[in-house]
Chain A
Amino acid sequence: MSTVNVRIPAPLRSHTGGAAEVVATGNTLRAVIEDMGARHDGLAQRILTPEGELRPYVNVFVDGDRLQGDDVLDQPLRDGAVVSLVPAVAGGAGRARDERLDALRQSISEVTPGEARALQGQGAVLIDIREQEEIAAGSPEGALHLGRGYLELRIEDEVPDLEKPVLTLCSGGVRSLFAAEDLRRLGYRHVHSVAGGFNRWKDEGLPFSMPRMLDAAARERYSRHLLMPEVGEKGQLRLMDSRVLLVGAGGLGSPAALYLAAAGVGTLGIVDHDVVERSNLQRQVVHADDRVGQAKAESARTAVRALNPDVRVELHQVHLESGNVDTIFPGYDVILDGTDNFATRYLINDACIKHGLPNVHGAVFRFEGQVSVFWPARPGEPGPCYRCLFPEPPPPELAPSCAEAGVLGVLPGIVGLLQSVETIKLLLRTGEPLVGRLLFYDALGGRFTEMRMERDPECPYCAEGVEFPGYIDYQGFCGA
């Protein structure tokens, strides 16, 4: 057994009663430290880590030579050796990034991709915070795509419950640490960063998919939509997959065609058999002076293509009637009623009931307009149909068309756009549609009023259990 003299550095002398040197026994440094520890309370803990390793700030000299290597603690000591414990005096500002990461790793919980997958199975929300181009090459199944740039702005819409466990994932596990910290600042109490990120997720053979995404041009075109949590990429893709039928390319159909095309509705069907007249141009803004005489459906297609060439336009240059409505309506998601006559309005109502489609209704008369959504087939909350309010068309002398009564040119713009808003809401499945409510606009008074409408339980067309009674051709006796 060797007996050695150990020189104690100043910071440790409080453990040796102020002594700068103590005598200890042991054949290795480890044994010597343990021997000192037995006699000087707390000394060994200052030199060794809890795992029994030499602390990083302790250098050891034996007889003037510095001991180096992994086995410093186990190198043999000769009897009578002088052991000096020397503080490694070091530190410094450090690299800001490394500093931050070190601090983050101490405060943010990290989980492996496998653990993340298991937590996901238990209800945790996995958020892929990478950029769109990175996500395009694959993303974990079931992951939410919330780019780092908008994470804080959107997370509360996606995950309103602050108690819900949230997992952040990036490509390598660094950016997700920063994101996790931000989420914790927002109040999320159970946040974990996925160590190794998506690279390790793939390496571990965990499931991922190539998400369908907007291309760069679409991303630019719809950027204002993408900023909105109610639309976002998912909503925009949904709009692009949607099919809307505009019945009429007139005063109501004009603003609807333009704005729905601009919004990126993928397919617009246009039913119109008429031609553009100069008197239409006072309000039918989808047409143009140099297209007077052209078929309205084709003129509308020209304007839509000029605005957004990605929109598919399907033309139905026919007069909508009971004989063709069943071949035109199926396949569309929403029918936008832009007609100016009761015969077609009832036909649209009846066909929408038959095919279970929402009917976005609009009508104008001089300075007044009205909008509603008739949708008896609405899942969960069925609304009334047009017939629940007006079972039969009025007599022709009480139902003049625009051609007969006149209309303020701006008014169909407003009503057609209210219809467009309702259409978009239905397609995105967001907000409160005007189902069971009729919205009146009095342009002269500058007033909107709303009337609640109930379903008619005896409605011959939409009441529960009623068999579709067939179409009625009002054309012959209605003031169209």
Chain B
Amino acid sequence: MRTLGLEAAALQCMLERATALYPQEACGLLVGRAGRVEQALTCLNRATDRRVGYLIDPEDYLHIEQQVANAGRQVVGAWHSHPHGDAVPSETDRQLAWPDWHYLILGFRGRLPSQCRAWILNESAFEEEIIQP
């Protein structure tokens, strides 16, 4: 199983945002390099029904990617929360996923995020990555 490095501050950022937006899904982009997430950015969720989906506007993405590139880093994936479920990719997640990108999902128990798991698309199926500090 592959591993994914995750900075504690990045995890903290995601947990706070996901908790604040409950019961809506929170989302954002992951910045770093392949195999390591150094920073989690939060984005506006532009989905029509934010309780069951997330969407990062392409223009928001372009803007962030440009800024990240200017700082000499790159976008390596995306994160979002499942306020009513586990940190497991849904069918929607699978259909819209990019190959080779890291996907972090926060699952909830009650009103608080209880788990964070990492996934990467291999062919058409998600494989879990082991998160390391």
Contacts and interface: CB of A to CB of B under 8 A. Distances in A.
Given A87-B98, A90-B56, A92-B93, A10 B76 contact: yes
Contacts of A99: 90-92
A92 B92 contact: yes
Nearest to B89: A91
Interface stretch (A53-61, A331-339, A439-447): A53-61
B62 interface: yes
A20 interface: yes
Contacts, number: 95
- Give the bracket for the number of chain B residues in contact with chain A: 35 or more
Interface string A54-87: 0011010100001000000000000000001011
Contact of A10 (B55, B65, B96): B65
B97 interface: yes
B47 A89 contact: no
Contacts of A14: 100
Contacts of A59: 58
Contacts of B80: 91-92
B47 A92 contact: yes
Given A56-B96, A57-B96, A57-B97, A88 B84 contact: no
B65 A90 contact: no
Contact of B56 (A11, A56, A89): A89
B131 to A, nearest CB: 19
Interface string B40-52: 0001000100001
B128 interface: no
Interface string A86-102: 11111111110001001
Contact of A93 (B29, B52, B95, B99): B52
Contact of A61 (B52, B56, B58, B93): B58
Given A10-B75, A91-B53, A94-B91, A66 B58 contact: yes
B-side interface mostly: mixed
B133 to A, nearest CB: 23
A245 B85 CA distance: 64
- Give the bracket for the number of chain A residues in contact with chain B: 20 to 34
Nearest to B46: A90
Given A11-B100, A90-B47, A95 B52 contact: yes
Nearest to B69: A20
Nearest to A13: B74
A93 B86 CA distance: 9
A46 interface: yes
B53 A102 contact: no
Given A9-B65, A20-B69, A66-B58, A90 B90 contact: no
Contacts of A20: 69
B98 A57 contact: yes
B93 A66 contact: no
Given A10-B76, A11-B98, A91-B97, A66 B92 contact: no
Counting chain B CB atoms within 10 Å of each CB, the highest count among A56, A66, A89, A102 belongs to A89
Contacts of B55: 88-90
Contacts of B47: 90, 92
A103 interface: yes
A103 B91 contact: yes
Contacts of B27: 89
Interface in A229-248: none
B43 to A, nearest CB: 8
A415 B101 CA distance: 78
B52 A87 contact: no
Given A91-B89, A91-B97, A99-B91, A10 B54 contact: no
B53 A94 contact: yes
A46 B78 CA distance: 18
Contact of B92 (A61, A88, A94): A94
A282 B40 CA distance: 88
A53 to B, nearest CB: 14
A9 B52 CA distance: 26
A14 B25 CA distance: 30
Contacts of A9: 65, 98
A46 B65 contact: no
29 contacts: A9-B98, A10-B65, A10-B74, A10-B101, A11-B99, A11-B100, A46-B99, A56-B96, A57-B96, A66-B58, A84-B62, A87-B98, A88-B58, A89-B29, A89-B61, A90-B54, A90-B56, A90-B92, A91-B80, A92-B52, A92-B54, A92-B82, A92-B92, A92-B93, A93-B25, A93-B53, A93-B85, A94-B52, A94-B92
Interface of A: 9-11, 14, 20, 46, 56-57, 59, 61, 66, 84, 86-95, 99, 102-103
Given A10-B65, A86-B58, A102-B91, 6 more contacts: A11-B101, A88-B58, A90-B54, A90-B56, A90-B92, A95-B52
